[in-house]
Amino acid sequence: MERTHFFDRLFPTRSTASIHGRVNRMFLMRAISPIHAAVILIISAIGLVITSAAFATSWETSTMRAPGGGLIRIGMTRQEVLNELGQPQRAPASTHNTAAGGKSGKKTSSSTYRADDGLYTITFSGERVVRIVVTPNRD
């Protein structure tokens, strides 16, 4: 009894060699060298990184430039931020307790400021800046 391959059963022909030749030409498995495969992989990875950066909705940063030229950094106090930026554009988000079980944790809140390149959400834990998230303007 003759052994049949998957493609021979899927596409029955008189000559089994003809279907194997077509499959090899379609998928080029044996025609691509390892160097070509590596180049294709690298180009695909670069394209993926560029595409993901282009569609990023927001990102975290450690500093923010104030309109007056000052620099807002993680670790600054709430009063220092208010002196540099003034009152936030949006009302501060509600505060909540960050500790497990709700005991003895620091209260967190966030304020949003508009800059030339987007919205900056500054998160405070207690009275210190712990996080700055940038949401860019999308025209």
Q: Indicate if 87 and 21 belong to the same structural domain.
A: no
- Amino acid making up residue 29: M
Q: Indicate if 64 and 50 belong to the same structural domain.
A: no
Q: Are 122 and 111 in contact (CB under 8 A)?
A: yes
- Amino acid making up residue 110: S
**For residue 129, what are the domain limits?**
59-136
Q: Are 131 and 123 in contact (CB under 8 A)?
A: yes
Residues of the chain falling short of pLDDT 70: 1-32, 52-56, 90-106, 139
Cα separation, 101 vs 124, whole angstroms: 20
Q: Indicate if 42 and 73 belong to the same structural domain.
A: no
Count up the domains in the chain and report the number.
Answer: 2
Q: Indicate if 47 and 80 belong to the same structural domain.
A: no
pLDDT of residue 78: 93
% of the chain residues with pLDDT over 70:
59
Q: Indicate if 65 and 33 belong to the same structural domain.
A: no
Whether 121 maps to a domain, the answer reads yes
pLDDT of residue 123: 93
pLDDT of residue 22: 61
Q: Indicate if 70 and 132 belong to the same structural domain.
A: yes
DSSP lists the bridge partners of residue 123 as 110, 131
pLDDT of residue 34: 74
pLDDT of residue 82: 92
Q: In what order do the strands lie in the sheet with 59-61?
A: 59-61, 128-136, 118-125, 107-115, 96-97
Of 106, 84, 116, nearest in space to 134 by CA: 116
pLDDT of residue 40: 83
